[in-house]
């Protein structure tokens, strides 16, 4: 009997959810939908603002990397102060020269390559931030929708408990039951009312958390159609392909930065030249002479070999990390697929014909109690099972949406997100 009632009540809870999908709502226009929440979060999120500022900084860094070294102008005065014939300024010699550093070894193009690689990585990080925000909003919305459904269930259980209390009073007044049944029913009613208050507070907390993400108070009901919608969880797992996902794109971008760093380290081993040209004026004779100089640094203490070794090691680390990321992403996608499929199976099962049969069994149990065919303990057990089953169905839907959102986050194409 207990198993029959439990199965029947499980059907009842999902039948209630299924009815919410098909029943027309007068407040459809006031429904706060997920798409609206995502749009608001994208417009007000400080994390996206920070990501955009980082993109602008990377673009500026790209411009800086392409700049050439500044030329220099120097003025040199000789024989200005001295002794003997140099006490006067008659023998003053002034030299004005123009120096131009010349970069060799492809340093400028190597710097631009590093800046370009970092710019792509920053743009990808902005896409990752956007994807993470989307995941957070979906999970917060699902949590708020689940809290709303739990509140509906708690209020329904409170109504049922009130009816059971009145039915117990009728039975006791008719002399068909012990007065203790009224006390039991009253305890159940009080606990049900307290559960409504707890559910109301959880709804407030969940909606407050969602409002902080979207940047404004959440008004109206949440989309119960979306919350109750579940894709089939049966069938084989989809082929796992981690290439092109955000995580793999990030690992490949890190490898590209390391490659560019190696090229830059190699270019820096080539010494630069400084070419100077100028004119020297002799005050004593009034003559002017041209001058030319060439400066070449001697790489004695720092020949760039250590920097190249460091860049090479960092490149090897990035390559190994890319392989590690590929394994981790494949495993994460497989787990997410399994979690989403299992949650979908649980949710779909909870919405099947068994629940409709269980709802009918619960209805019969209530009628039977009022007519004296069932005892109060059987009724209380049935109502408790009904509440647990309804909450289990809501939890299954919440788990499904969380798992589905996580799977979409893991498999989101990097190109699609960067293009938005």
Distance in angstroms (rounded) separating the CA atoms of residues 190 and 209: 29
Per-residue confidence (pLDDT) for residue 182, from 0 to 100: 79
Give the whole-angstrom CA distance, residue 103 versus residue 69: 8
Strand partners, 292: 277
Distance between CA atoms of residues 307 and 286, nearest Å: 51
pLDDT greater than 70 at residue 388? yes
Q: Can you give the pLDDT at residue 281?
A: 81
Task: Give me the pLDDT at residue 210, please.
Answer: 93
Task: Please report, for the chain, the start and end positions of each structural domain, with discontinuous segments joined by +.
Answer: 2-22+34-68+120-265+306-419, 71-102+270-303
Predicted local confidence at residue 8, as pLDDT: 35
CA angle 205, 210, 215 (to 5 degrees): 125
pLDDT at residue 307 is higher than 60: yes
User: Residue range 356-383: average pLDDT?
Assistant: 69
Q: Can you tell me which residue has the tokens 């290439």?
A: 243
pLDDT digits (tens, 9 = 90+) for 168-221: 777 677 776 677 877 777 888 898 889 899 999 999 999 999 999 999 998 888
Q: pLDDT tier at 313 (50, 70, 90 boundaries)?
A: very high
Torsion, Cα of 359, 360, 366, 372 (10° steps): -150
CA distance 138 to 134: 6
Q: What is the pLDDT of residue 381?
A: 66
- The lowest-confidence range among 235-239, 296-300, 325-329 is 235-239
Q: Does the pLDDT of residue 84 top 90, yes or no?
A: no
Pairwise CA distance, residues 68 & 72, whole Å: 13
Give whichever of 39-48, 236-245, 368-377 has the largest mean pLDDT. 39-48
Note whether 257 and 118 are within 8 A (CB): yes
Residue 343: how many other CB atoms lie within 10 Å: 22
Q: Percent of the chain beyond pLDDT 70?
A: 82
Provide the pLDDT for residue 202.
Answer: 94
- Pairwise CA distance, residues 315 & 260, whole Å: 9
CA atoms within 13 A on the CB side of 410: 23
How, if at all, do strands 72-78 and 93-102 pair?
Answer: antiparallel
* Span 72-83, average pLDDT: 79
Strand partners, 238: none
For the segment 229-245, the average pLDDT, to the nearest whole number, is 71
One of 3.40.1350, 2.20.200, 2.30.29, 3.30.70 is the CATH number of 71-102+270-303, namely 2.20.200
Could you tell me where the beta strands, DSSP code E, fall in 228-346?
273-282, 288-295
* More confident call, 18 vs 413: 413
Q: How confident is the model at residue 60 (pLDDT cuts 50, 70, 90)?
A: very high
In sequence order, which residues have a C-beta less than 8 Å from that of residue 400 and are 6 or more positions away?
230, 233, 340, 343, 344, 346, 347
Give the pair of three-digit tokens for residue 387. Answer: 């509440």
Give the pLDDT confidence score for residue 237 in this predicted structure.
61
pLDDT at 234 over 70: no
How sure is the predictor about 236, in pLDDT bands with cuts at 50, 70 and 90?
Answer: low
How buried is residue 49: exposed, middle or buried, by Cβ count under 10 Å (0-12/13-18/19+)?
exposed
Lookup: tokens for 118: 């970092």
Q: State the CATH architecture for 2-22+34-68+120-265+306-419.
A: Up-down Bundle (1.20)
Q: Does 367 have pLDDT greater than 80?
A: no
pLDDT at 117 over 90: yes
pLDDT class of 348 with cuts at 50, 70, 90? confident
User: Residue 23 above 70 pLDDT?
Assistant: no
On the question of pLDDT at 82 being above 70, the answer is no
* % of the chain surpassing 90 pLDDT: 41
For residues 273 and 295, the answer to whether their CB atoms sit within 8 Å is yes
Contact 114, 65 (CB under 8 A): yes
For residues 341 and 400, what is the distance between their CA atoms, to the nearest angstrom? 8
Who wins on pLDDT, 370 or 276?
Answer: 276
Mean pLDDT in residue range 253-281: 92
| 102 sits in which H/E element | strand 93-102
DSSP 6: H
Which of 91 and 153 is assigned the larger pLDDT?
153
Confidence check: pLDDT of 279 > 90: no
d(C-alpha 382, C-alpha 365), whole Å: 8
Mean pLDDT on 312-340: 92
pLDDT over 70 at 22, yes or no:
no
Check whether 11 has a pLDDT greater than 50. no
Of residues 270, 263, 255, the one with CA closest to residue 308: 263
How far is residue 72 from each of residues 96, 290, 292, measured CA to CA in Å?
11, 17, 14
Give the chain's mean pLDDT: 82
């Amino acid at each position: 009997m207990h198993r029959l009632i439990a199965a029947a009540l499980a059907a009842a809870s999902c039948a209630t959810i299924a009815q919410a999908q098909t029943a027309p709502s007068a407040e459809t226009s006031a429904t706060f939908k997920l798409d609206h929440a995502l749009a608001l979060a994208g417009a007000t999120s400080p994390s996206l603002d920070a990501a955009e500022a980082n993109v602008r900084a990377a673009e500026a860094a790209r411009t800086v990397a392409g700049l050439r070294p500044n030329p220099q102008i120097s003025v040199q005065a000789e024989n200005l102060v001295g002794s003997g014939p140099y006490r006067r300024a008659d023998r003053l010699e002034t030299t004005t020269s123009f120096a131009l550093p010349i970069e060799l070894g492809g340093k400028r193009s190597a710097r631009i390559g590093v800046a370009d690689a970092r710019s792509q990585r920053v743009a990808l990080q902005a896409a990752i931030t956007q994807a993470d925000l989307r995941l957070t909003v979906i999970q917060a919305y699902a949590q708020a929708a689940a809290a709303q459904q739990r509140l509906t269930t708690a209020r329904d259980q409170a109504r049922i408990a009130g009816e059971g209390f009145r039915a117990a009073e009728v039975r006791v007044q008719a002399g068909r039951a012990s007065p203790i049944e009224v006390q039991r029913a009253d305890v159940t009613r009080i606990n049900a009312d307290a559960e409504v208050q707890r559910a109301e507070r959880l709804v407030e907390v969940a909606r407050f958390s969602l409002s902080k993400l979207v940047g404004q108070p959440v008004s109206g009901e949440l989309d119960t159609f979306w919350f109750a919608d579940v894709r089939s969880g049966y069938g084989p797992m989809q082929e796992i392909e981690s290439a092109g996902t955000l995580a793999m794109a990030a690992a490949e971008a890190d490898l590209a930065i390391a490659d560019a760093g190696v090229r830059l380290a190699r270019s820096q081993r080539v010494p630069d030249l400084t070419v100077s040209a100028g004119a020297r004026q002799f005050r004593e004779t009034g003559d002017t002479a041209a001058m030319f100089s060439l400066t070449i640094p001697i790489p004695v203490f720092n020949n760039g070999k250590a920097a190249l070794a460091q860049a090479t090691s960092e490149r090897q680390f990035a390559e190994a990390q890319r392989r590690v990321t590929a394994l981790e992403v494949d495993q994460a996608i497989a787990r997410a697929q399994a979690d989403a499929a299992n949650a979908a199976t649980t949710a779909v099962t909870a919405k099947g014909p068994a629940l409709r049969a269980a709802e009918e069994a619960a209805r019969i149990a209530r009628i039977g109690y009022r007519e004296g065919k069932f005892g109060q303990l059987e009724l209380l057990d049935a109502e408790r099972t009904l509440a647990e089953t309804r909450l289990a169905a809501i939890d299954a839907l919440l788990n499904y949406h969380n798992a589905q959102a996580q799977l979409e986050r893991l498999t989101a194409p990097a190109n699609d997100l960067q293009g938005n």
